[in-house]
Amino acid sequence: MNLSDIHRGVKKNKPRKRLGRGIGSGQGKTAGRGHKGQWSHNGVSFLSIFQGGTMPLVRRIPKRGFNNRWAKAVLIVNVGDLDAGFKAGDEVTPETLAANTNLAKGGYDELKVLGNGEIKKKLKISAHRFSASAKEKIEKAGGQVIVLPGKAPVVKAKPPRKKKAKSATAE
């Protein structure tokens, strides 16, 4: 391959296709729309899911369940993984998990430690949640469990209510 071959056939500034400009243009008369039919008329619009009159796939598939947009994303880490990834006496926090190991990938709201695996090292573990078995195993190994506070919900201040004026006909 030569450097001159790399961009052969690639047009960066391709002129737009001019439709309906006579027979010699190659896109004259029907302008690429063909003869008759709904697509040939102007002002035609279809739904993006339209499949030529067949019931669209989107409508054929059963819908079940609910996807909560506001649910917290919880990252799960097992005590066995913590035992393998840290030395005895280390402090395990969400920050050290992301920096030292490959366990905390992507974004999450809360970190939960589960009790799968064995832990033999004395670790000081900070997380938002702990399973009962994980807490038991960490403390049995001589480690410390620190529960971090979750994200505080944003509370919008309500505007003060206007006081109603007393009526003039008070007797």
Structure tokens given for 83: 């035992």
Contact 125, 142 (CB under 8 A): no
For the entire predicted model, the pTM comes to 0.57
pLDDT at 169: 62
52-102 pLDDT, tens digit per residue, is 889 999 999 999 999 899 899 999 999 999 999 999 999 999 999 988 888
Is the Cα dihedral 81, 84, 85, 91 positive or negative? positive
Contacts of 115 (CB under 8 A, 6+ apart): 78, 79, 131, 132, 133, 134, 135, 136, 137
Mean pLDDT score, 141-146: 95
The C-alpha atoms of residue 36 and residue 46 are separated, in whole angstroms, by: 17
The gap from C-alpha 54 to its chain's centroid, in whole angstroms, comes to: 32
Q: What percent of the chain has pLDDT over 70?
A: 97
All domains of the chain in start order, with CATH: 74-147 (3.100.10.10)
Higher per-residue pLDDT: 152 or 90: 90
pLDDT at 44: 85
